[in-house]
Amino acid sequence: MNRDSLFPTYAPPELQFSHGKGSWLTDTSGRQYLDFIAGISVNTLGHAHPDLVEALHAQAQKIWHLSNMFDVPGQAELARRYCELTFADRVFFTNSGAESIECALKSARKFHAEQGHPERIDIIGFEGAFHGRTYATVNAAGNPKYLEGFGPRLPGYKQAPFGDMDSLRAMTDEHTAAILIEPVQGEGGLRPAPISYLEALRELCDAQGILLIYDEVQCGAGRTGQLFAHQWSERAAPDLMATAKGVGGGFPLGMCLATADVARHMVPGTHGTTYGGNPLAVAVGTAVLDHLTAPGFLENVRERSAQLHGKLNRLKMKYPDLVAEVRGKGLLAGFKLGSGLNTAMRDRLRENGLLAGVAGDNTVRLAPPLNVSAAEIEQAIAIIDGALESLQRVRVAAAGSSQ
């Protein structure tokens, strides 16, 4: 495939998929792959789910696009349903995760400005965080790799060590606007924040008049077995939350959710988007939410999660020299390998018919569709087992020959 006319930002393998069904993708040679990365935690119901196809087709016959200058059919109702299911009172629809974070950052600063504190602009994030690729979101995450070469860093962004309350407390002051955290770090290496840590953040924010922002772009939409990951506790609700990826099931859709107190300042003229929450996105997003809230759906996620984590832990015991740790929460899972081995493992898994991803800290990332079956998890584990075994054989042989 000749990619010379594309920005060289991506370097995909020599592989072309022609269609998908459920947890499976088929390439142009007819070979089938078990998809355990699902567009990076996006294809909530797998590929070509009939209800999503139907929702998109039905809407496509009516209206594709209006822009938000008119009431978008279904948008207010989808927002109402999400508000009923969460801490939120109001929703702003977007096309992506980064845009949802941007809305949260602007809303947080606007809130303080309207309270008479325009000096409260600092957003405290965490090391290892990922919030997207726009200029504000790379500054918010602070990963030097994603900032280098793009000019000066923006003022008003700081990073605290992940999960360390004392250093975070020392960082907050009268300039702090908000704390921004992923309840489960995805890109950073599938690190869940303990739920007690989120509760402690809520308390700290309440005590100091700071807003709490969650980035549930990757860990939301049912991925951990709750609709949103922070909902494992009733005492960890944020003031603002960004989500995207899974809520659209593969159609670009994101949301910034907020309390009434915060959202009320985002009046006409303060913010906007042309495509965000357009009729096609809302139609698909509504069908996704119908599934997420259907009886038994999240129970299946929890059961499959227990199965997946149980099996991964067994592999860790079987290959103690290779698998350093099993990571993640729910169906956002992974395992940590020795330095530099995660990309080799991902490639080997693909050669053996399993699509996985990588994440920071030498982890292999697994994020299957949420309606994955028990049998498909067994198949994936068998492929991972085989790949670990062959990696171990190579290592033993290398150790033998070096003696």
Under a CB-based contact definition with an 8 Å cutoff, are residues 38 and 186 in contact? no
Contacts with 300 (C-beta within 8 Å, 6 or more apart), sequence order: 370, 371
Residues 207 and 306: their CA atoms lie apart, in Å, by 36
User: Smallest distance, Å, CB 96 to ligand PLP?
Assistant: 3
Residue 186 makes contact with ligand PLP by CB under 6 A? yes
User: Smallest distance, Å, CB 37 to ligand PLP?
Assistant: 12
Residue 349 makes contact with ligand PLP by CB under 6 A? no
> 211: which strand partners?
178
User: Smallest distance, Å, CB 192 to ligand PLP?
Assistant: 13
DSSP code string of 157-185? EEEE-TT-HHHHHHH--TTEEEEEE-SEE
Residue with the CB atom nearest ligand PLP in the bound state: 97
For ligand PLP, which residue of 96, 107, 172, 278 counts as binding (CB under 6 A)? 96
Strand pairing of 211-215 and 240-243? parallel
Q: How far is CA 309 from CA 4, 238, 303, 325, 329, in A?
A: 41, 28, 10, 11, 9
| 318 is annotated as an active-site residue | no
Q: Other C-beta atoms within 10 Å of 233: how many?
A: 16
User: Smallest distance, Å, CB 122 to ligand PLP?
Assistant: 20
Residue 120 makes contact with ligand PLP by CB under 6 A? no
Instruction: Give me the catalytic one of 111, 126, 245, 335.
Output: 245
Residues 4 and 16: their CA atoms lie apart, in Å, by 17
User: Smallest distance, Å, CB 359 to ligand PLP?
Assistant: 10
Residue 305's nearest CA partner among 353, 374, 244, 358 is: 374
Under a CB-based contact definition with an 8 Å cutoff, are residues 229 and 183 in contact? yes
Closest to ligand PLP by CB, 111 vs 130, is 130
Site for ligand PLP in 195-224 (CB under 6 A): 215, 217-218
Instruction: Give me the catalytic one of 92, 126, 130, 251.
Output: 130
Closest to ligand PLP by CB, 232 vs 319, is 232
Q: What is the CA radius of gyration of the chain?
A: 22
Residue 244 makes contact with ligand PLP by CB under 6 A? yes
Site for ligand PLP in 100-119 (CB under 6 A): 101
Closest to ligand PLP by CB, 361 vs 376, is 361
Residue 23 makes contact with ligand PLP by CB under 6 A? no
Residue 131 makes contact with ligand PLP by CB under 6 A? yes
Residue 358 makes contact with ligand PLP by CB under 6 A? no
Contacts with 221 (C-beta within 8 Å, 6 or more apart), sequence order: 44, 227, 228, 243, 245, 246, 247, 288, 292
For ligand PLP, which residue of 33, 130, 251, 335 counts as binding (CB under 6 A)? 130
User: Smallest distance, Å, CB 182 to ligand PLP?
Assistant: 5
For ligand PLP, which residue of 20, 132, 142, 220 counts as binding (CB under 6 A)? 132
Site for ligand PLP in 245-304 (CB under 6 A): 245
Residues 76 and 169: their CA atoms lie apart, in Å, by 38
| 245 is annotated as an active-site residue | yes
Under a CB-based contact definition with an 8 Å cutoff, are residues 284 and 253 in contact? yes
Options 81-89, 96-104, 116-124, 272-280: segment touching ligand PLP (CB under 6 A)? 96-104
Closest to ligand PLP by CB, 146 vs 232, is 146
Instruction: Give me the catalytic one of 35, 122, 215, 239.
Output: 215
Block residue for tokens 């995909």: 12
Closest to ligand PLP by CB, 163 vs 391, is 163
Closest to ligand PLP by CB, 229 vs 315, is 229
Q: How far is CA 344 from CA 35, 119, 151, in A?
A: 18, 48, 33
Closest to ligand PLP by CB, 101 vs 391, is 101
**DSSP 8-state assignment for residue 288:** H
Residue 98 makes contact with ligand PLP by CB under 6 A? yes
**DSSP 8-state assignment for residue 44:** T
> 138: which strand partners?
none
Size of the residue set binding ligand PLP (CB under 6 A): 15
Q: Which residues are catalytic?
A: 130, 215, 245
Which residues contribute to the site for ligand PLP (CB under 6 A)?
96-98, 101, 130-132, 182, 186-187, 215, 217-218, 244-245
